[in-house]
Copies of this chain bind each other. A is one copy, B any other.
């Protein structure tokens, strides 16, 4: 790999990381600072902070989802050494969905008891997962010369698709119960576990020396 390609890749990564860092930090702004008005008492503030607990949970969920997206992106760019135009555009498209996350998060934080908010949030996150799978396909699977990279790419693309499916399946669940839909999102962890088992041989040593 030429030093110039390395530097171009480095800058693409730095720009992506910057966007991830800003987007994940902006999530906190979606937790509304309570306005106590004329009733500036401890009892009132305690009540309002207790009311904020679901908002804080929504912040945590979005942080975890964007964190998982970042980990996947991090691994993708450890794997590849070059990128072409489709990869570049798919990466920008994926970053746009990352930049967008604070908006559905704010909707979920503010109106989390409404089905519409949960559905809007789920669809937005599913969209991010599918975009990430597309990026994996374009950047790592399609140009792979060797089978190991293809298998590794398939593993991460399926993880992204798995996350999208979990969010999409939660949509009909939310029509019945928004609380059940939030619990449904936890299905992402068994999905990841199963994928880890299936691809156990392909991802062996994947955590060394990097992650």
- Of A28-36, A141-149, A156-164, A186-194, the one touching chain B: A28-36
Indicate whether A8 sits within 8 Å of B209 (C-beta atoms), given known contacts A33-B107, A92-B67, A110-B33: yes
Q: Are B70 and A25 in contact (CB under 8 A)?
A: no
Binding site for B on A (CB under 8 A): 1-2, 4-5, 7-9, 11-15, 17-31, 33-34, 36, 40-42, 45-46, 49, 56, 59-60, 63, 67, 70-71, 74, 77-78, 82-85, 88, 92, 95-96, 99-103, 106-107, 110-111, 113-117, 120, 207, 209-211
Q: Are B78 and A211 in contact (CB under 8 A)?
A: no
Q: For the complex, what is the distance from the CA of A40 to the CA of B100, rounded to whole Å?
A: 23
Residues of B within 8 A of A116 (CB): 42, 45-46, 49
Q: For the complex, what is the distance from the CA of A162 to the CA of B95, rounded to whole Å?
A: 25
What's the least CB distance linking A108 to chain B, in Å? 10
Copies of this chain, how many? 4
Q: Are B8 and A11 in contact (CB under 8 A)?
A: no
What's the least CB distance linking A10 to chain B, in Å? 8
Residues of B within 8 A of A59 (CB): 100
Q: Are A111 and B36 in contact (CB under 8 A)?
A: yes
Q: Are B11 and A17 in contact (CB under 8 A)?
A: yes
Q: For the complex, what is the distance from the CA of A56 to the CA of B24, rounded to whole Å?
A: 19
What's the least CB distance linking A208 to chain B, in Å? 8
Report, nearest first, the 6 A-B pairs whose CB atoms are least far apart: A8-B210, A18-B21, A5-B209, A22-B25, A45-B116, A33-B106
Residues of B within 8 A of A9 (CB): 210
